Amino acid sequence: MKIAFFDTKQYDIEPFRACGEKSGVEYKFFEPKLTADTAGLAAGYDGVCVFVNDTVDAEVVDRLYGEGVRLVALRCAGYNNVDVKYAFGKLHVVHVPAYSPYAVAEHAMALLLTSIRRIHKAYNRTRDFNFSLSGMTGFDLHGKTVGVVGTGRIGRVFIDICRGFGMNVIAYDKFQAEGSGIDYVTLPELYSRSDIISFHCPLTDETHHMLNADTIKLLKRGSVIINTSRGALIDAEALLAGIKSRIVGAACLDVYEEESDIFFEDFSGHIMDDDTLARLISMPNVIVTSHQAFLTEEALHNIAETTTSNIITFAEKGTCDNELCYHCGNTETCKKQRLERCF
């Protein structure tokens, strides 16, 4: 299998090259993101390997199909950037449903601790030999109520971490984990009761802007918001307004809804065109990291290994347990139980 690898970063190359050489998959690394303009780079390849900010819409699907591509291998769990419905009958789509839930959950907690204990401010102060404690008062996590939106693998690991801190955990998920012992509540109740809210759910039409101008009014005053999932779960303009009105006490963001042309790139020598992001970053109670929650050695190895395994399995069997198929109406579950090709 020859795979055109888009949106390549330096940290991608070593693990994917090693897995490819071991299994016989030939990766060709391209720096540009996959778009309608760059899809031609995939000519002559069996498949493409893409990440969260690559575009696989109807136009790109048609262009890839016309170039002979038959497989889209996502090296991530989320697939909101892929038109899976339109791809059906043309391109098979596989993803990495779990690579390291610990990496993302631990990053969410790291952001929370950094924010509420003012670690980032302390670091900057002591670098200037300023050892004043003025304005550095935080609060205990013990006894606080955390609301977890989404109780998949990452959400459940985050819940375990929070329980270790002695926090009270409530959660919302449309599909509840039976027998988990998780205290599920409605989303409005979660918003109104939580001191801290952490998002760990996929981006769908239903979850788009689930935190918005109306739902922010339900929050406890001073609530801390954490998002390490998908940026568009939160209406960034509404979040900014919530911060300015003091309803939102702090925000910890590893994702942003308009990140695709910003994150993973160095703009330190440029003027930031995105006024909303610039204003968020300027707020003293906002921490932004650039979609790095997944970025651990273990996760990178697991992503490369699973992605390569998906490609090999598809090549040998024509099916893959990690395929995203629209045929049965439910993208991640297949009535054919992966025993035969959907098309």
Q: Which residues are catalytically annotated?
A: 230, 259, 291
CB 107 within 8 A of CB 254: yes
DSSP notation for 287-324: EE--S-TT-SHHHHHHHHHHHHHHHHHHHHHS--TTEE
DSSP class of residue 33 equals: P
Q: What whole-number distance in Å separates Cα of residue 45 and Cα of residue 71?
A: 9
Q: What whole-number distance in Å separates Cα of residue 43 and Cα of residue 80?
A: 24
Q: Which long-range contacts (CB under 8 A, 24 or more apart) does 181-184 make?
A: 182/151, 182/156
User: What's the maximum distance between 2 C-alpha atoms anywhere in the chain?
Assistant: 66
Residues 6+ apart with CB under 8 A from 305: 15, 19
Q: What whole-number distance in Å separates Cα of residue 12 and Cα of residue 303?
A: 10
Question: Residue 283 in 3-state DSSP?
Answer: coil
Which residue stretches of the chain are H helix? Answer: 10-23, 58-66, 84-87, 101-116, 119-127, 153-164, 187-193, 213-216, 236-244, 275-282, 297-317
| Residue closest to 168 by CA, chosen among 182, 180, 154 | 182
Tokens of residue 57, six digits:
């819409």
CB 155 within 8 A of CB 201: yes
Question: Residue 246 in 3-state DSSP?
Answer: coil
Tokens of residue 292, six digits:
């790095």
Q: How many CB atoms lie within 10 A of CB 59?
A: 14
